[in-house]
Amino acid sequence: MEGRKGAMAVKLELYRVFKEVADTGNISAAAKNLYISQSAVSQSLKQLETALQARLFLRSPRGVTLTGEGQMLYQYVRNALGLIATGEDKLSQAQQLLIGSLVIGASDTVTSFFLIPYLEAFHREHPGIRLKIVSGRSAKMLSMLKSGAVDVAFASSPTDGAVEHWPCFATHMAFVAGSAYPCDFDHLYSRQEIADFPLILLDRKASSRLFLEQEFLKSGVTLTPEIELSSRSLLVSLARIGLGVAGVTLEFAAKALDSGEIRQLKTDFVLPGRSVDMCVLKEVPPTAAAGAFLDMIRRGER
């Protein structure tokens, strides 16, 4: 493989010499433009003609001109080298964050609760970078990160060894009900008493739902919700109108709690906190745009 790459690099240089000679029609002028000797130019042309088994130039005292075969080759070489130059220029612009794209995977809740100020600041600082937000839950975001579909993912307490992650903010689970719900908000409820309520939970694709189930099972209590949802906002809405007790993330339900629409039930147990982390793959260097975004989040600049 290394030998093949080396051969390709040598052949590319031969094509660069070939194009320069064709453009100038003069070996001496081509050598001057390429900062190499005339003999090196002549040797390169001979090497290319031998490799292709074709005569590419007609020599005369006034210079060189392309043969029919050389003219046909020249059209392709000119286009190919032009594309390479364009690619190098685009790469340079991307490295300078003048162009490019950044794909971020995060739930709608994380985007609205945490990311929007950072997205605004990043777009203001790097307007040439096209931002794309892919929405989904933690498991889906980590899967997309590992497949290369997103550059950066935000997930709850990731444990995958292939992922490097940085905590962004803490989350805590709690149980809430509408302010008029027939329960005693001063009572310390046990796990079993919580499980006996008509429960409103996220569906089992949600990491917070799995977390609650695992924590309750540690005490031998099974959670069997009457209502399962895919939307965090609906948890609060259905609890507010009295349909049951909802398991929510306190940080995401803060506004409804502060307004008094819902109230938190007291418990005789404390659930451990979790965190929402920014994740990238350990063995994959980030793009220039992703690197700049990671740095912004780590610095807390927004």
Per-residue model confidence as pLDDT tens digits over 95-128 = 778 778 999 999 999 999 999 999 999 999 999 9
User: pTM of the prediction?
Assistant: 0.71
Mean pLDDT of the chain: 91
Interatomic CA distance for residues 74 and 70, integer angstroms: 6
* Domain stop point among 43, 73, 95: 95
Q: According to the model, what pLDDT value does residue 208 have?
A: 92
Same domain, 7 and 47: yes
Same domain, 151 and 195: no
Average pLDDT over residues 161-171: 93
Q: Is the pLDDT of residue 10 over 80?
A: no
Structure tokens at 6: 């080396």
* CB-based contact 120:302 (threshold 8 Å): yes
Quote the number of domains for the chain.
Answer: 3
Q: According to the model, what pLDDT value does residue 63 have?
A: 85
* CB-based contact 253:259 (threshold 8 Å): no
Same domain, 138 and 281: yes
Phi, psi of 24 (to 5 degrees): -90, -25
Greater pLDDT, 100 or 277: 277
Same domain, 129 and 109: yes
Same domain, 183 and 215: yes
Same domain, 200 and 80: no
148-159: pLDDT as tens digits: 999 999 999 888
Angle between helices 116-125 and 288-299 (to 10 degrees): 130
pLDDT bracket for residue 4 (50, 70, 90): very low
pLDDT bracket for residue 133 (50, 70, 90): very high
* CB-based contact 269:260 (threshold 8 Å): no
Alpha helices in 126-253, H assignment, sequence order: 138-147, 191-196, 207-217, 232-240
252-268: pLDDT as tens digits: 999 999 999 999 999 99
Q: Is the pLDDT of residue 178 over 50?
A: yes
pLDDT bracket for residue 41 (50, 70, 90): very high
Same domain, 151 and 290: yes
**Could you give the angle at the alpha carbon of 36 between the alpha carbons of 22 and 56, nearest 5°?**
25
Structural domain of 42: 2-95
Greater pLDDT, 210 or 95: 210
61-81: pLDDT as tens digits: 888 999 999 999 999 999 888
DSSP state of 113: I
Same domain, 200 and 258: yes
Q: Is the pLDDT of residue 85 over 80?
A: no
Q: Is the pLDDT of residue 3 over 50?
A: no
| Secondary structure E strands in the chain | 57-60, 63-66, 100-106, 129-135, 152-156, 163-171, 173-178, 188-189, 199-202, 227-229, 245-249, 262-264, 266-267, 274-281
